[in-house]
Structure 1
Amino acid sequence: MRWCYSYACVWRRGISARIACAAVRRKRLLDSVILFFGCCMLVAHATAAQNVLRVLAWPGYADADVVKDFESRFHAKVEVTLVDSDEALWDKMHQGTQPQFDVLAANTAEIQRYAHDNLLAPLDLASLPNTKRQLPRFRALSSIGGLTKHGTVYAIPFTYSTMGLIYDRKQVSVAPHSMNELWNPRYRGKVLDYNSAQHNFSFTALALGYPNPFQLNNTQIQTITRKLIDLRRNLLTYYNLPEEAAAFFVQHKVALMFGNYGTQQLELLRRAGADVGYVIPDEGVLAWLDCWSMTSAAANRPLALAWINYMLEPEVSGLLTQRQGLANTLTEPAEGTGKSHILWIEPVENIQTRESLWSRIVSGDRPERF
């Protein structure tokens, strides 16, 4: 009897042990399944993160349908951040210890600044076959200041425009010939100016006849400052975005405007029904050439290069001209600039000095305090 009882106990303990072992195996299997799916999710998340392209650009450069087509073609997600001034672009690029973007569009003067600060990555032209579609003058990269450094390419031309005068034909019967018309007392309260330290000092230097508007001495800076203070008498306001300028122009019946965005603003105004003209002043005109660059912090460089190459496809570059009225680098513009004196913008003598003075001018600081 004792033996049977002992045997039964041993038998029951064996069953319990086997049940316990089976439970342990099931738990391990469940843990493995959970771990497997967890790893899959992490891999998927990491892959998705690698396929996110962060773009820093100007309005009209990365429209929603253009972005959607790129995302579909390259199975990626594109995050677009827009800026309205070179100063805003600079601030965005300097948030954090490294750039928070993969590609950016900037003019040649800004490109030089970013390259100098080692914020840009070299571009492999073999990965940009659409550059062969560009007009010869835009393929000659070494001849365009700021695009190369020690023989290495850091930017690809994308679009450009002069920065001339836009005027209302009903209020200005004779096309103006000089930027000095912005100071004409007859246009009191009917002038729009772009909110930018660099460009305002430069175009005023041209109006004053200074030979190099990008490298000014202290005396010239003081003279320009006083002239920009005088301009406040004629101003309706300052603008940042082209759409904002067009709205001001139409709503408040503006007579003259410094067209920082050039032909892009002209196109917007004409679509809004405004009867406007566009002139390049006799003393010369500033002009910008915006380029695409890849940042040194680009997480997925092949994807960044694919974006730059995509921007040079005829359909995409063509949309820039059709929608924005801006010239592209693949085809000759419909309206040439003739023999006009065009100055591509360059780095200036002291950005901090210009911006400090401009901030005081815009804020309405009294003339006697300068």
Structure 2
Amino acid sequence: MKTGLIAIVCLGLLTGILAVPQATGQSGEVVMISYAGALQEPHRLYLVEPFERLHPGVKVRLVPDEAGEYVARVQAAAAAGRPSPVDLAPNGEPPHLRLIALGLLERTNRALVPNLKNVHQAFVEKTQGYGVPASYQLIGIAFNSKKVSKAPVGWKDLWDPAYRGKVGLTSTASNLGLGFLVATAKLNGGSETNLEPAWQAIKQLQPFVIAPNPTALAQLFEREEVVIGPLWSNDAAILASKGLPIKFVKPESGAMVIVSILSAIKGSQNMQLAHELLNNVLSVEYQAKAAAKPYFFGPTNVKVPVPLEAADYIPTTIAEVRRLQTVNWPVIVPNRAAIVERWNREFSH
């Protein structure tokens, strides 16, 4: 798995939009789940607004949902035999696998997504035929450079007594929290099949501050309620773009890379339009803008090079790429409910 990801990003380092089948004469509303806050801007500015200009009768409504609350609505509609209330949704690898198992995703019609041929096959394989690999993000260490005197170099620095009570974490209900749990396990001799070293190490990290989701954790950094902790590369970049003294470090053992997959939801009444959006999110034009400052979403289209200004947030050298870490999600996902339950029992109080 790690070798495949190395090949993917290397291709991006070494290197307009293809002709898109347009769904003309349509009208109505397309509902797309998106990110919260500033990270929604690439979807709105570079994906939705150009799309709406091409389709004057169509409105795309972006709905922020980091907790996956839309899934229950989609399940209820399917059980009642009604159309899905959601047309598209981005998911990290763990929830993507769960949604496949639940039968809630529509298989991608590759004939309607010609830009898929520009995405490295190893990324495409992660979709299992559902949706498209829209971007990748890193889990690394964010810190307040005015509050942290010595920049961290690895995960072990979070356990420095100087930061006790000022470390921020998210629950394992988030991909950020789950990824950090696996990273901690590996740091302490464990693995996806042996998380016990992580549980014991995180107990030693107490007291720490728990945020319900990554956006809330970023807000804690903004208010200086925490000074160091694992964070998405994108969230750290947005904080820095606001002029805040937030730096991002890719741990020496390797930052963790997670692919975001945009998928059409089964039962959508707008499948043609949904596929057009899937194709557009892979375009050179969209991905180049999403990879630029201040968002730094990792481009999955091999024709889009990583901009030099993204060096603090995305690997720009082959040596960095080789240090990237991945998670064996098919092993973790079936145990996620038990992992979240244990987290809540031991730490959420």
TM-score, normalization: structure 1? 0.71
Q: Who is 2:13 aligned against? A: none
Q: Who is 1:203 aligned against? A: 183
Relative distance call for 1:146 and 1:92 in structure 2 (3 A) is: farther
**Residues 1:273 and 2:250 aligned together:** no
Secondary structure of the structure 2 residue equivalent to 1:62:
helix
* CA deviation map 1:169-226 (0-9, x unaligned): 334343323312222221022211123343343232123232x33x33xxx44x4334
Secondary structure of the structure 2 residue equivalent to 1:287:
strand
Give the AA of the match of 1:254: V
Give the AA of the match of 1:106: N
Give the AA of the match of 2:111: A
The alpha-carbon deviation at position 165 of structure 1 amounts to 0.8
Secondary structure of the structure 2 residue equivalent to 1:121:
coil
The alpha-carbon deviation at position 344 of structure 1 amounts to 4.5
Q: Who is 2:272 aligned against? A: 302
Q: Hey, what's the Cα distance between the residues in 2 that align with 1:115 and 1:255?
A: 37
Q: Within 5 Å, which residues of 2 pair with 1:116-127?
A: 116-127=101-112
Q: Who is 1:3 aligned against? A: none
Q: Hey, what's the Cα distance between the residues in 1 that align with 2:235 and 2:222?
A: 12
Q: Hey, what's the Cα distance between the residues in 1 that align with 2:286 and 2:124?
A: 23
Relative distance call for 1:67 and 1:274 in structure 2 (3 A) is: same
Relative distance call for 1:338 and 1:352 in structure 2 (3 A) is: closer
More contact order relative to length (CA 8 Å, sep ≥ 6): 2
The alpha-carbon deviation at position 109 of structure 1 amounts to 3.0
The alpha-carbon deviation at position 340 of structure 1 amounts to 0.9
For structure 1, which segment, 340-349 or 285-294, has the greater mean C-alpha deviation from structure 2 after superposition? 340-349
Contact 2:164 2:205 in 1 (8 A): no
**Residues 1:147 and 2:118 aligned together:** no
Instruction: Pick from 258, 275, 278 the counterpart of residue 288 of structure 1.
Output: 258
Q: Who is 1:232 aligned against? A: 206
* CA deviation map 1:39-87 (0-9, x unaligned): xxxxxxxx98x732121232325226742332231231222222224x5
Q: Who is 1:343 aligned against? A: 326
Secondary structure of the structure 2 residue equivalent to 1:97:
helix
The alpha-carbon deviation at position 88 of structure 1 amounts to 4.2
Q: Hey, what's the Cα distance between the residues in 1 that align with 2:200 and 2:280?
A: 46
**Residues 1:329 and 2:300 aligned together:** yes
Instruction: Pick from 219, 244, 247 the counterpart of residue 247 of structure 1.
Output: 219
Percent identity over paired residues:
19
Q: Hey, what's the Cα distance between the residues in 1 that align with 2:252 and 2:154?
A: 6
Relative distance call for 1:339 and 1:308 in structure 2 (3 A) is: same
Contact 1:246 1:268 in 2 (8 A): no
Give the AA of the match of 1:270: A
Contact 2:143 2:248 in 1 (8 A): yes
**Number of aligned positions between the proteins:** 297
Q: Who is 1:69 aligned against? A: 50
Contact 2:44 2:62 in 1 (8 A): no
Q: Hey, what's the Cα distance between the residues in 2 that align with 1:106 and 1:128?
A: 18
Q: Who is 1:16 aligned against? A: none
Q: Hey, what's the Cα distance between the residues in 2 that align with 1:67 and 1:100?
A: 18
Contact 2:88 2:265 in 1 (8 A): yes
The alpha-carbon deviation at position 127 of structure 1 amounts to 0.9
The alpha-carbon deviation at position 310 of structure 1 amounts to 2.0
Instruction: Pick from 64, 79, 85 the counterpart of residue 82 of structure 1.
Output: 64
Q: Which has the larger radius of gyration?
A: 1
Contact 2:78 2:267 in 1 (8 A): no
Q: Hey, what's the Cα distance between the residues in 2 that align with 1:187 and 1:204?
A: 17
Q: Hey, what's the Cα distance between the residues in 2 that align with 1:89 and 1:201?
A: 25
The Cα RMSD (Å) is 2.8
Give the AA of the match of 1:238: A
Relative distance call for 1:58 and 1:250 in structure 2 (3 A) is: closer
The alpha-carbon deviation at position 343 of structure 1 amounts to 0.8
Unaligned runs of 5+ in 2: 1-24
Relative distance call for 1:114 and 1:121 in structure 2 (3 A) is: same
Secondary structure of the structure 1 residue equivalent to 2:126:
coil
Give the AA of the match of 2:58: A
